[in-house]
Amino acid sequence: MNSAKGYIMKAIISVALLGANAAAEEIYPFKAGKWGYLSEQGKVVIEPQFDDVELFSEGIAAAKKGEKWGLIDTKGNWVAEPQFDKLEHYCDEIWLIDETKDGKRLFSYINSKGKMIIKPSPNTYLACTGVNGMLVVNIGHNHGLLDKDGVEILKFEYERIDFREQNGVFYGVVGYYKQGERSSRYGVLDEHGKWILKPEFHWIDIKNHYALLQKEGKWGFYDLKNRETLADFVWDDKSDGYEGTAGRYLVPVWQRLYPPQDRGYKEYGLISREYGFVSIATGRSRIIAPTFDKIEPLSEGMIAVRGGNGKWGFVDEEAKVAIKPRFEEVLPFKNGLASVKFEGKWGCIDKKGKWAIAPTYSEIGDFDEKGFAPARTMADSGGKWGFINKNGEWAITPAYSKVGVFDADGLAPAAVIIDDHHAYGVIDRAGEWVVHPNPKFENIGSFTLNGLARAGFLTSTGWIYGYINKKGEWAIKPRYRGAGDFNDCGIAFVNTGGAMDEGYIDSRGRSVRLPKSFSYYNLNKYCSASQGAFVTADGSVHPNIMNLLKNNYIIMNESFSPKVEIIGVWDDGHIAKTGLIDAMGNVLIKPMPDIFFKNPFSESDFARIYRIINNQTILGIINIKGEFVFDFGDYDIDHKFCEKGLARIQRQKDGKWGLINREYKIVVEPQYDGIHYDMMCYNNLFLAEKKDEKTGFRRQYWLEKDGAVRFHVDKVGDKYILKNAKGEILWQTK
């Protein structure tokens, strides 16, 4: 059979048989000397008469008579007479003709009515849009639109046509290059190929039913659904939009302002901006004029904005001014509240702008998930820090000169003044000292997973850092000029003086040598995924990670699964060996040369692995444990699984074919001389052939996915016989 394009061929095609009153059912090609078609019950619906056939699509199939191909309907009647050298289903109701004439390869296209819609050409290409039967045609890099009958919808003068789906509606973005211009212009078509916006824009970005447009260096916005302009081209630029809830999409835009009192600003490129917003949601939009000079990122559906009066307020996801600018400073909304400064004092507001906590504080931080926020009393009340709850009540009495934030274990650094210096300790959520304040601690960070926190003090030559435990004891004595927090693998960056004195230590202060090629960011990323699995009970680096480092392994971050990771060994400027580890750092496959992973674990808990042995590439399959579950040294496999999860496999020693599932278990033992690729998983059936060694006849079998025979074609003398699984005769030649 002729091999159709795999990415176009549909696995199951329903066609109406024997008149309008007949039930739709599948029909299958079969060969009894010639090719015909039978129903899934084994009833012959088109008598064998063709030299080759393809599957039906939309009630039409390609069939071969002699040396030429044509199109037939479900009754076997010719829709397009056999006249083509090569014919195959291309897309939708379109068929590709591939011919060679006078040494040139020519492509042409016909529809399911047999009508030629594109004449033979060496440089004509077609794409089905899936939108009302429209076809994008490329002739010598000039694109246009035809309908399925070949009628021109859009002239062939555009450099690109790309249809995009937005909430169930398709819009076509059309690119057009105008001679003499530096860049292309773009327009938008509707679902019928009619212009919504003609190509006069330098940029188009469609979101939902709205288009963000750039023209002559300015941005505007257009409602494609209602065909109306939302914003004229007054905006100088836009930022990346914010994804909100319920389909909302908020786009910050701005205008550049050059202070009129000093034109030198413009000369040196110093500008100020006025910001506005366009809110785009399903079925509605809203625009705010450029009245803000600074904006902050979206947080809990609210964006902090600074107005022309220098005061801060908030805009919601629909670009509505939810809280008018009236605050000197604001923090983002966290857990439903935002800390704001009003008339020199800090309080907290809700999303309606109402005071949840009256402004009576010198400073307020963010509320954490337990409802605690650091707060400081006014100077006339001592200027002390404590923690408040969401009712504005003191959860921890203000008695500290400095405080940090609580970690996952409910501990926070806090300081009091001793001898005119901040003396740090650690408190719990009850305000009790876990580590009493000590003048030798002038700075304490947060505790990390290994139970250590960075601590430091100021000397005449600068800061000195070490690490303390939760008892306030020096776990690693202070001797570093710079120190970072420990990552989840129990490794920290430290500096003992200059640029040449940088390095890494473990949780016991021992030097850790990372390969020069090793990425510390790479390590941090992997350690975060391990959730601290590499920290042992005594706070040191887990032996597994140490073994990786000592062996110069690189965690390559190339696996598609959080359960495993590929590691490599760096040697002489390249990755010389590769292997596999699990999430705990255990080596599943020891790094070795000439081993390669193919899309590891991207679709399942199995991955393909290639090994080069004696200059031959050997393919195998490993599971998530690193175990070889199938070695293809004796087999070849077609890795394109059909939608039923099965693929062909061929035994090398005798060339026999069988079927394998996604767990790489053989479900049909190799015993057939062929399994038709383009008939894979056709309504759960497979077309296979087995040669009769005595007669040479290739007996056809339609197989169930478990290998059971649905029906087969046999030959006795000159007579072809169609039988079911029970051996009963369903049809035979006369």
**Per-residue pLDDT reduced to its tens digit, 378-390:** 988 889 999 999 9
Query: What integer pLDDT is reported at residue 143 of this predicted model?
Result: 94
**Per-residue pLDDT reduced to its tens digit, 13-47:** 222 222 333 345 688 899 999 999 998 888 999 99
Query: What integer pLDDT is reported at residue 588 of this predicted model?
Result: 85
Q: Residue 660: which of 700, 611, 691, 619 has the closest Cα?
A: 619
**Per-residue pLDDT reduced to its tens digit, 143-168:** 999 999 999 999 999 999 999 888 78
Query: What integer pLDDT is reported at residue 373 of this predicted model?
Result: 93
Q: How far apart are CA 445 and CA 456, in angstroms?
A: 9
Q: How far apart are CA 97 and CA 652, in angstroms?
A: 35
Instruction: Say if residues 253 and 290 touch (Cβ distance below 8 Å).
Output: yes
Whether the pLDDT of residue 260 is over 50: the answer is no
Query: What integer pLDDT is reported at residue 395 of this predicted model?
Result: 96
Instruction: Say if residues 602 and 608 touch (Cβ distance below 8 Å).
Output: no
Residues 6+ apart with CB under 8 A from 710: 40, 42, 685, 702, 703, 704, 724, 725
Q: Residue 722: which of 27, 33, 42, 26 has the closest Cα?
A: 42
**Per-residue pLDDT reduced to its tens digit, 672-705:** 999 988 777 777 788 999 998 888 899 999 998 8
State whether residue 501 is helix, strand or coil: helix
Tokens of 657: 């074919």
Whether the pLDDT of residue 270 is over 70: the answer is no
Classify residue 329 as exposed, middle or buried by CB count within 10 Å of its CB (0-12, 13-18, 19+).
Answer: middle
Q: How far apart are CA 510 and CA 661, in angstroms?
A: 50
**Per-residue pLDDT reduced to its tens digit, 113-136:** 999 999 998 888 888 888 998 999
Q: Give the single-character DSSP code of 26.
A: -
Q: How far apart are CA 341 and CA 329, in angstroms?
A: 5
Whether the pLDDT of residue 335 is over 70: the answer is yes
Stronger pLDDT, 572 or 107, i.e. the higher one: 107
> Which residue type is seen at 51?
D
Q: How far apart are CA 274 and CA 255, in angstroms?
A: 5
Q: For residue 379, which phi and psi values (nearest 5 degrees)? A: -60, -40
Q: How far apart are CA 505 and CA 490, in angstroms?
A: 8
Instruction: Say if residues 474 and 456 touch (Cβ distance below 8 Å).
Output: no
Q: What is the DSSP string of 440-457?
A: T-SEE----TTS-EEEEE
Residues 6+ apart with CB under 8 A from 12: 26, 682, 683
Query: What integer pLDDT is reported at residue 199 of this predicted model?
Result: 93
Whether the pLDDT of residue 521 is over 90: the answer is no
Q: For residue 677, which phi and psi values (nearest 5 degrees)? A: -65, -45
- Host H or E run for residue 577: strand 574-582
Query: What integer pLDDT is reported at residue 696 of this predicted model?
Result: 87
Q: Residue 244: which of 319, 349, 164 has the closest Cα?
A: 319
Considering only the C-alpha atoms of the chain, give the largest distance between any 2 of them, rounded to a whole number of Å. Answer: 114
- Host H or E run for residue 548: helix 543-550
Tokens of 430: 């009850």
Query: What integer pLDDT is reported at residue 513 of this predicted model?
Result: 67
**Per-residue pLDDT reduced to its tens digit, 598-626:** 767 766 788 888 777 777 777 788 888 88
Whether the pLDDT of residue 177 is over 90: the answer is no
Query: What integer pLDDT is reported at residue 272 of this predicted model?
Result: 60
Q: How far apart are CA 335 and CA 332, in angstroms?
A: 10
Q: For residue 472, which phi and psi values (nearest 5 degrees)? A: 85, 15
Token pair 């679902």 is at which residue? 191
Q: Residue 366: which of 385, 383, 390, 397 has the closest Cα?
A: 390
Query: What integer pLDDT is reported at residue 540 of this predicted model?
Result: 60
Tokens of 523: 């390590």
Whether the pLDDT of residue 52 is over 50: the answer is yes
**Mean pLDDT across 50-67:** 93
**Per-residue pLDDT reduced to its tens digit, 196-224:** 999 999 999 887 788 889 988 888 888 89
Residue 363: which pLDDT band, with cuts at 50, 70 and 90? very high
The secondary structure of 301-370, three-state, reads CEEEEEECCCCEEEEECCCCEEEEEEECEECCCECCEEEEEECCEEEEECCCCCEEEEEEECEECCCCCC
Instruction: Say if residues 445 and 436 touch (Cβ distance below 8 Å).
Output: no
Q: Residue 700: which of 36, 64, 73 has the closest Cα?
A: 36
Q: How far apart are CA 523 and CA 553, in angstroms?
A: 11
The winner for highest mean pLDDT among 87-91, 495-499, 639-643 is 87-91
Stronger pLDDT, 175 or 684, i.e. the higher one: 175
Least confident of 81-90, 444-453, 538-547: 538-547
Token pair 């040669």 is at which residue? 691
Q: How far apart are CA 173 and CA 162, in angstroms?
A: 5
Token pair 């059309």 is at which residue? 174
- Host H or E run for residue 292: strand 284-299
Q: For residue 10, which phi and psi values (nearest 5 degrees)? A: -90, 145
Q: How far apart are CA 224 and CA 234, in angstroms?
A: 19
Query: What integer pLDDT is reported at residue 284 of this predicted model?
Result: 57
Stronger pLDDT, 384 or 408, i.e. the higher one: 384
Whether the pLDDT of residue 267 is over 50: the answer is no
Average pLDDT over all residues of the chain? 83
- Adjacency order of strands within the sheet including 482-483: 482-483, 492-495, 502-505, 511-512
